[in-house]
Amino acid sequence: MSDSAFSFLGRTLRRRSFLRVAGATAASSALVLAGCSDDDDEVVAPTTPANTLIFANGTSGVLNYLYLLEQLQAAFYQKAVDAFPSDFTAEDKAAFIDLRDHEVIHRETLKYTLGVLSSAYDANLTTPLAFKFESFTLSTRTGAYTAARTLKEISVAAYNGAPKLLVVDNATGSHVTYLKLLTKMASVEARHAAFVRDQLQPNSFAAPDAVGAAGLDTVKTPVEVVALIAPYVPVTLDASFLPTT
């Protein structure tokens, strides 16, 4: 797919052609692609290495990015719930079940939203991504909450950084719908973060490593976030095409 090979095509045709190729590849070699660009002025990935999940420029890419983050978290809590640490109290168990349920609902809501856009990155995958939690110690309460804290802080920072990346579409007002949805989940993620931090270390709900002296919470870009979650995801993540402002 060199530029010269399809430079005679219009931008829209270029993208459709590209996605068709990408989709066909996905069926045979686990190649995945996250959505198409909402913005005709932006380019899509010039090449698509195997086993790489590329978040395309535009709103669908942003939503796929958060969808993956919710998939990761839901899978984490499901794994913990499937085999609770032996020293988990009844309260711990109930809390983790709540957290699992909230994340599954977030995941499914984003999946529905992406389905409407026909751009869920995993729509054509025969088997979902198998996330890797081997680096966590899920057999102990401390290990489980430490893992939860790690993922929650990433999530809070991601949700603080993502809404501004939604592409304004005044024709449909879609950005309003998505912004409302994301901010409704963002504060719940922050509630979760405060809770799991407190369980690990009392009163650390908003410790200086999370909330700075100016009273502002953490924020991270998609590129920063995918680097942090890379150890838990079985494919290479590329967020470099997502909007940055």
Binding status of residue 181 toward another protein by CB under 8 A: yes
Residue type at position 75: A
**For another protein, which residue of 125, 206, 223, 235 counts as binding (CB under 8 A)?**
206
In the three-class reduction of DSSP (H, G, I as helix; E, B as strand; rest coil), residue 136 is classed as coil
Binding status of residue 193 toward another protein by CB under 8 A: yes
Nearer to another protein, 81 or 104 (CB): 104
Binding status of residue 198 toward another protein by CB under 8 A: yes
Enumerate residues 103-132 that contact another protein by CB under 8 A: 104-106, 108-113, 116
Binding status of residue 171 toward another protein by CB under 8 A: no
Contacts of 156 (CB under 8 A, 6+ apart): 186, 189, 190, 193, 210, 217, 218
Nearer to another protein, 21 or 217 (CB): 217
Nearer to another protein, 20 or 184 (CB): 184
Binding status of residue 78 toward another protein by CB under 8 A: no
**For another protein, which residue of 24, 176, 227, 230 counts as binding (CB under 8 A)?**
176
| Angle ∠(185,64,20) on CA atoms, nearest 5 | 160
Residues of 169-200 as b/e, b for ≥16 C-beta within 10 angstroms? beeeebbeebeebbeebbebbbebbbbbbbbe
Q: Which residues pair with 192 in a beta bridge?
A: none
| Angle ∠(61,67,73) on CA atoms, nearest 5 | 145
- In a 10 Å sphere around its CB, with 0-12 CB exposed, 13-18 middle and 19+ buried, how is residue 82 labelled? exposed
Nearer to another protein, 89 or 139 (CB): 89
Nearer to another protein, 7 or 170 (CB): 170
Interaction site with another protein (CB under 8 A): 91, 98, 101-102, 104-106, 108-113, 116, 156, 159-161, 163-166, 168, 175-177, 179-181, 183-195, 198, 202-203, 205-206, 210-219, 245
